Amino acid sequence: MTATCQVLRVGGLMAYSTCTYNPIEDEAVVSSLLARAHAISPGAVVLETWPAHVLPSLVRHAGLSTWGVADHQERSSLAAGSCNDADWSDEEEEVRLRWHASKASATAAGMTHSVATMWPPSATQAKWMKLDRCSRLLPHDQNTGGFFIALLRKTARFGSAFASGASGASLPEASMTHNEPAKTANGGAGSNDQKGKEGKP
């Protein structure tokens, strides 16, 4: 995605789409790209609203601005009789999710594959990123597949630092007020459950 944005002409429009509801593969990827571009040239890449004339009857849900990050823990990996094993009820599945408020807490818990950009942007960043302009399509709305779509417009040039990541731009490790966020109508963990209207994400 970074390489594609690098070669995109100024004024060009790029679509980023997935067939997953996981915000770490959706909004987190978009917010990471926006943050990197913003650090080099504010406003060089922006999220576009869905064009009103394109599939006006398509039911879309707004993108998320916050979400939870988790990994899974297998009961078989716990030592028999340990404190963690004692907390596991007999009715629970053999695998359960562990929610992490930040990269630091995830690393401390043994989530070695975590990176800071998996966590949502700060409230200040989320405001200018306008992640609600992303679109989430849910199968039960119109008997379709499930998709995530983000339309990104390149408005200015940026140097090789963007592709190499030399700018050092990254998202802060946002603090979560709860270990396990509530599920939203968008089918994921987060707080933005506003349903996009036709032609207006």
Condensed to tens digits (0 to 9), the pLDDT of residues 135-194 reads 999 999 999 889 999 999 999 987 766 665 544 444 433 333 333 333 333 344 443 444
- Give the confidence band of 196 by pLDDT, cuts at 50, 70, 90: very low
Residues with catalytic roles: 19
| CA distances, 91 to each of 60, 75, 76, 87, 95 (Å) | 37, 12, 15, 11, 12
Give CA 48 to chain center in angstroms. 17
- pLDDT reported for residue 78: 53
Identify the residue with better confidence: 98 or 182: 98
- Give the confidence band of 98 by pLDDT, cuts at 50, 70, 90: confident
Q: Determine which helix (DSSP H) or strand (DSSP E) holds 103, and give its type and residue range.
A: helix 103-108
Read off the DSSP letter of residue 75: G
Tens of pLDDT, residue by residue over 45-65, are 999 999 999 999 999 999 999
Q: What are phi and psi of 40, to 5 degrees?
A: -90, -45
| Percent of the chain's residues with pLDDT above 90 | 54
